[in-house]
Amino acid sequence: MYAARDRYMAEAVARLVDDDPEARVMVWAHNGHIAEGTYGDQVPALGSRLREQYGDAYYALALLFGKGSFLARRGNDLQRPPARHRIGTGLRSLEARLTHAVPGDYYADLRAAGSPADAAPWLHAPHAQRSFGANVQRFLYRLNTAPLVPAEDYDGIAFVARSTCSHLLPPVED
């Protein structure tokens, strides 16, 4: 499933960019899609495909948050509307480390000049980031993580200390 989805997303971005060489395209997707890595069976993520095709013109910006809430459907029920889910900072995730590193909201450009590998060795070490998608298992979603090496998977990190839920738009009437 991920193989086809990420391949098709990369093809859609390529069509936009290749049709207009001056075009600037921003893709807002789950961090797992925009990362420059692969999924479990070495399936290239969208970000990996875009990095291969566009080199440094592709900038993978992760969006992470410390604590707060988000909307997602419970379980695999696609008929019910998304529900509010709350999450604390936690103790072992990359988000917990970022929460304690610098207070508040911030942006870290991992490509920035003057950021040698030895300045922040933890950026080049494996971590676990919390991983929530459109559907989450009730209560157990708090345990969902995905592996990453920040400086290898992303070019930058936007960190929001407290997230609030989005709001569903009202249904469109015919």
What pTM was computed for the model? 0.86
Higher-confidence residue of 115 and 37: namely: 37
CATH homologous superfamily of 61-166 equals: EreA-like (biosynthetic domain) (3.40.1660.10)
> What is the rounded CA–CA span in Å between residue 73 and residue 84?
9
CA geometry: angle 70, 71, 75, nearest 5 deg: 120
Mean pLDDT of 74-83: 86
Is 41's pLDDT higher than 60?
A: yes
Mean pLDDT of 132-137: 84
Mean pLDDT of 98-102: 90
Question: Phi-psi category of 68—alpha, beta or left, where left has phi over 0 and alpha has psi -120 to 50?
Answer: left
User: Where are the domain boundaries for CATH 3.40.1660.10 in the chain?
Assistant: 61-166
Query: Which of 30-39, 107-116, 150-159 is most confident?
Result: 150-159
Give strand pairing partners of 163.
68
pLDDT at 10: 94
> In sequence order, what are the residues at sequence separation of 6 or more whose Cβ sits closer than 8 angstroms to the Cβ of residue 110?
123, 150, 151, 154, 155, 156, 157
